[in-house]
Amino acid sequence: MRRILIIAIPIVAFLAVAPNRLNGYYLNLLYITVLYVGLAYGWNIISGYAGYFSFGQIAFFGIGAYATGLIVVNLQWHWILAALAGGLIACALSVPMGYVMLRLRGPFFAMGMFGLAQTSRVVITAIPATGGGSGLFLPPGSDLRSIYYWTLAVTLGAIALTMWIDRSAFGLRLQALREDEQVAGTLGIDVTLEKIYAFALSALIPGLLGGGYIWFLTYIEPDAAFSPRLDLQSVVMAILGGVGTVWGPLVGGVLMTQIAEALWARFPQIYLMIFGGLLVALLIVLPRGIVPALTSRIRRSV
């Protein structure tokens, strides 16, 4: 714990003062990095710890985004309060959704969640108040610095939450049901309930992040709020870092956003090709992700 603090305090201090030092481009990059890391942490709870691979947590990002936008436009709340409410709304909606979806397993759950995200997008677009496909313009309400701080706070919260889960009885229950749901049940674990808790936490985090993202765009439209790209990239980052580990989403998220950015800057036409190839190569060399590969190497050398 002390070692973690020694590393974490300077990093957090740097992240806290960064907006004063960095110009627009770098602050932008920092924001995107922190956003992706946060999304990867959100996904890691239900998919990493509980083992339910989801390709649709972006549903809650979108719901949080739209809820925040609608609250600000219609009720004139301060955007931070609205974003908080947006996250809570996404979390609340995830409970009945999870109750239904978590009956599916494996690839069926993964595809079902992808479908749920698309369905959420369609439903939200159909509501007249959201402006449909053309989206919703937001009144001026925030700047990049505040959005960055909001996102940083949520992401740090997600990391702290994951650190707690990793050591808690709740985390042990999730890992047990991930390994074998039936056995976990006969060992006294209410698997339905624990899965819904995990799912709700995995909805709260993107929900809160979505409420900040809309100010980054200054408007909301369905394709941005329910972006499959944000979803898939954050999933890939968590996988690359190490599924179901405390530090995997951080390592994978930071590394991949930086590599993607550097490649994009140098090889704008073919960066996706290089990036994809790199990803495939990394996952062949490190199938379980970077963090598990490092920790098992350290353990072996001790």
Partner 1 sequence: MSEPILSVTNVRVAFGGVQALAGVSLEIREGEILSLIGPNGAGKTTLFNVISGVLRPQHGDVRFLGRSIIGRPPHEIARLGIGRTYQIVRPFGSLSVVDNVAVGGLIHARSIAAARAAAREIVEFVGLGPFADRIAATLTLTQRKRLEVARALALRPRLLLLDEVMAGLTPSEMDTMADFVVRLGERGIGTVCGIEHVMRLVMRISHRIVVLDAGRCIAEGDPKAIQSDPRVIEAYLGAPLIETI
Residues in contact with partner 1 by CB under 8 A are 167-169, 172-173, 175-176, 179-180, 182-192
The least CB distance from residue 168 to partner 1, in Å, is: 6
Task: Pick the closer one to partner 1 by CB: 183 or 281.
Answer: 183
The least CB distance from residue 286 to partner 1, in Å, is: 17
Task: Pick the closer one to partner 1 by CB: 118 or 192.
Answer: 192
Are 125 and 222 in contact by the 8 Å Cβ rule? The answer is: yes
Question: How far apart (Å, rounded) are the C-alpha atoms in residues 212 and 147?
Answer: 6
The least CB distance from residue 104 to partner 1, in Å, is: 18
Question: How far apart (Å, rounded) are the C-alpha atoms in residues 281 and 258?
Answer: 17
Task: Pick the closer one to partner 1 by CB: 67 or 243.
Answer: 243
Task: Pick the closer one to partner 1 by CB: 169 or 265.
Answer: 169
Q: What is the DSSP string of 211-266?
A: HHHHHHHSEE-HHHHT-HHHHHHHHHHHHHH-TT-SSHHHHHHHHHHHHHHHHHHH
Task: Pick the closer one to partner 1 by CB: 69 or 244.
Answer: 244
The least CB distance from residue 81 to partner 1, in Å, is: 35
The least CB distance from residue 166 to partner 1, in Å, is: 11
Residue written as token pair 């036409």: 269
Task: Dig out the tokens for 111 from the structure.
Answer: 């595809």
Are 151 and 31 in contact by the 8 Å Cβ rule? The answer is: yes
β partners of residue 220: 136
Residue written as token pair 């610095």: 145
